[in-house]
Amino acid sequence: MPPSTPKADRRAWSTLIVSTWAFTVCFMVWMMFGVIGIPLKKELGLNATQFGLLTATPVLTGSLVRVPLGIWTDKYGGRIVLTILMAVTVPAIWLMAYATEFWHFLVIGLFVGLAGGSFSVGTPYVARWFPKHQQGMAMGIFGAGNSGAAVNKFVAPALVVAFGWAMVPQVYAAVMLGTVILFWLFSHHDPAHLVPSNTRFVDQLKALKDPTVLKYCQYYSIVFGGYVALSLWMVQYYVGEFGLDIRVAALLAACFSLPGGVLRAIGGWLSDKYGAHNVTWWVMWVSWICLFLLSYPQTDFTIQTINGPQTFHIGLNVYLFTILMFVLGIAWAFGKASVFKYISDEYPKNIGTVSGIVGLAGGLGGFILPIMFGALLDITGIRSSAFMLMYGVVWVSLIWMYLTEVRRHEVLKREPVSAEA
């Protein structure tokens, strides 16, 4: 039955809504260490690098499985793949409550991290239920499940304070189990959405050699990888930099995570209306400005005046810092949607594989960046060094976009004038 019929429309929207909820829960679980890692850091006596490794471990497996999950979604359908994926994580989430050693958390975290692979299943799954002119919107709504990072910041601190950190994985395991049942009941399957059965695994992986795909990987490593990394890092940043209580720190950190997830749907709509390039270009420039300001460390300096030494302080207070993080979250929400609009426009028959590859790059960014944040903090003692690092990553994206897209558009605009001359 074609997608334009009322029955198909109902199936499409039902699938989109329940898939978005499933992704929200998966992302909430994926970001769990961003909150419970703070009491664990004290309990286990971890340094900043070890804390970064602890929070990033689930991100590793959630990233590595994205390519095969995207391919399996193309071949078998998102309904069965996502159901099995969520069900497999339930025992691991529950076992987290009984871990006692650092290596226990790392090993169990690898299995919990499978939940992060849900993005590469849901993106092609929901996109194929909608016509091309609505795919950016559909993927944006689904991608709003990133707001699970903010949900985690509201729920987990309350559980930690009231019952201790071990209650968090127990509650999350129960929520995930309920989501598995809900998703299976209200999602749908359409064989017409599958790629031909004779498509080979090796053929689909050829997308890894495409330089355009690699460019989108670079973009996504900052708008998604940076989002994941900061979602994991910001609660302890607020606690360490501004001396806040964990609940207040989590609430302020949600000012970044919440718009960074929820507003992704608007980014999808903007990408449908104005094009993926225009949205991504402005996202990178806004990111560049915000990260430049966030990079400046708390500084005191003294100068000699005619009246004697004068000392000045330069640095962001908690209010300005939170406002900049809020703006950055909005920008990255739009950027996450616009990158996938590129993919749906240029790879309509291979969305699952390409989105898996790009999602892998973004996820690996979310894995590597927190570890690098911790290492830089241990080496330099400067907390804002995390933003200095991401400032450099945005520079790479801007230069690459200018050379491959902006200059090409400028040449195309000049060509008709040259021909008439």
Angle, vertex CA 290, rays to CA 284 and CA 296, nearest 5: 135
**Residue 263 to residue 267: CA distance in whole angstroms:** 7
Give per-residue pLDDT as tens, 67-91.
788 778 888 888 999 999 999 999 9
Mean pLDDT of the chain: 86
Which comes out higher in pLDDT, residue 263 or 27?
27
Report the C-alpha dihedral over residues 362, 364, 370, 375, rounded to 10 degrees: -130
Which sign, positive or negative, has the C-alpha torsion 156, 159, 162, 165?
Answer: negative
User: Which pLDDT score, from 0 to 100, does residue 418 have?
Assistant: 46
Give per-residue pLDDT as tens, 380-409.
999 999 999 999 999 988 998 888 887 776
* Contact (Cβ atoms closer than 8 angstroms) between residue 134 and residue 265: no
**Residue 12 to residue 2: CA distance in whole angstroms:** 11
Domain locations along the chain: 6-191+204-303+312-420
User: Which pLDDT score, from 0 to 100, does residue 2 have?
Assistant: 44
* Contact (Cβ atoms closer than 8 angstroms) between residue 395 and residue 291: no
User: Which pLDDT score, from 0 to 100, does residue 328 have?
Assistant: 95
The secondary structure element, H or E, covering residue 73 is helix 66-76
* Contact (Cβ atoms closer than 8 angstroms) between residue 155 and residue 169: no
User: Which pLDDT score, from 0 to 100, does residue 205 have?
Assistant: 63
User: Which pLDDT score, from 0 to 100, does residue 201 have?
Assistant: 57
User: Which pLDDT score, from 0 to 100, does residue 10 have?
Assistant: 86
- Model confidence band, residue 415 (pLDDT cutoffs 50, 70, 90): low
Percent of the chain with pLDDT over 90: 37
User: Which pLDDT score, from 0 to 100, does residue 320 have?
Assistant: 94
**Residue 169 to residue 6: CA distance in whole angstroms:** 41
> Who's near 94: CB < 8 A, 6+ residues apart?
169, 170, 173
* List of long-range contacts for 208-217, beta carbons under 8 Å, 24+ apart: 208/357, 212/346, 213/354, 213/357, 213/358, 215/400, 215/401, 215/404, 216/339, 216/342, 216/343, 216/354, 216/358, 217/357, 217/358, 217/360, 217/361, 217/362
User: Which pLDDT score, from 0 to 100, does residue 107 have?
Assistant: 93
User: Which pLDDT score, from 0 to 100, does residue 138 have?
Assistant: 85
Which tokens sit at 276? 């993926």
The secondary structure element, H or E, covering residue 41 is helix 33-44
Checking if the pLDDT of 198 tops 60, the result is: no
Give per-residue pLDDT as tens, 280-337.
999 999 999 999 999 988 888 889 888 888 988 888 899 999 999 999 999 998 998 8
Give per-residue pLDDT as tens, 230-281.
988 998 899 888 988 888 998 898 888 888 777 877 888 888 888 888 899 9
User: Which pLDDT score, from 0 to 100, does residue 414 have?
Assistant: 63
Give per-residue pLDDT as tens, 151-164.
898 899 999 988 99
- Model confidence band, residue 1 (pLDDT cutoffs 50, 70, 90): very low
User: Which pLDDT score, from 0 to 100, does residue 412 have?
Assistant: 60
- Model confidence band, residue 111 (pLDDT cutoffs 50, 70, 90): very high
- Model confidence band, residue 116 (pLDDT cutoffs 50, 70, 90): confident
Tell me which of 1.20.1250.20, 3.50.30.60, 1.10.10.10, 1.10.150.120 is the CATH number of domain 6-191+204-303+312-420.
1.20.1250.20
Most distant CA atoms of the chain, gap in Å: 84
DSSP β-bridge partners for residue 304: 309
Least reliable range by pLDDT among 201-205, 221-225, 259-263:
201-205
User: Which pLDDT score, from 0 to 100, does residue 168 have?
Assistant: 94
Give per-residue pLDDT as tens, 287-296.
999 999 999 8
User: Which pLDDT score, from 0 to 100, does residue 352 have?
Assistant: 66
User: Which pLDDT score, from 0 to 100, does residue 69 have?
Assistant: 85
DSSP β-bridge partners for residue 311: 302
Burial of 45 (0-12, 13-18, 19+ CB in 10 A): exposed
Give per-residue pLDDT as tens, 117-165.
898 898 889 988 888 788 878 887 888 888 888 889 889 999 998 899 9
- Model confidence band, residue 199 (pLDDT cutoffs 50, 70, 90): low
- Model confidence band, residue 176 (pLDDT cutoffs 50, 70, 90): very high
